[in-house]
Homo-oligomer: A and B are copies of this chain.
Amino acid sequence: MNTINDLDTLKLALRDFAAARDWKPFHTPKNLAMAMIVEAAELVEHFQWATPEESLALAPKKRAEVADEIADVLIYLTELADVLGIDPIAAARAKIVKNAAKYPPPL
């Protein structure tokens, strides 16, 4: 496996990973969107009973678990964007331009 150091190399590594396991037929956008929200919820779960303050001061073990869930969301999001031929960074760039117009900063 090549080095993963950005979203593009992550995308390529994930393609290889899925191909080696014959998972491609399962990777429809519908299924990947479902898998992605399941991981998003596992992330939410870490914070559900926490106060806002507690959510900022995670113990090391919990912080590592949270990092794992962030990874899972990013992985499925990258795979979803890939099967649809969408560039997530370009999409985020365009969205920030839209958001800047929608929410102008106070003077």
Interface set of A (CB-CB < 8 Å, partner B) = 1, 4-7, 10, 13-14, 17, 20-22, 26, 28-31, 33-38, 40-53, 55-56, 58, 63, 66-68, 70-75, 77-78, 80-81, 83-84, 86, 88-89, 91-96, 98-100, 103, 105-106
One complex includes copies of this chain to the number of 4
Chain B neighbourhood of A5, CB < 8 A: 89
A49 B26 Cβ-Cβ under 8 A: yes
B89 A4 Cβ-Cβ under 8 A: yes
* Chain A contact residues: helix, strand, loop or mixed: helix
Give A35 Cβ to nearest chain B Cβ, in Å. 5
B71 A88 Cβ-Cβ under 8 A: yes
- Given A36-B40, A67-B86 in contact, is the A75-B92 Cβ separation under 8 Å? yes
A70 B80 Cβ-Cβ under 8 A: yes
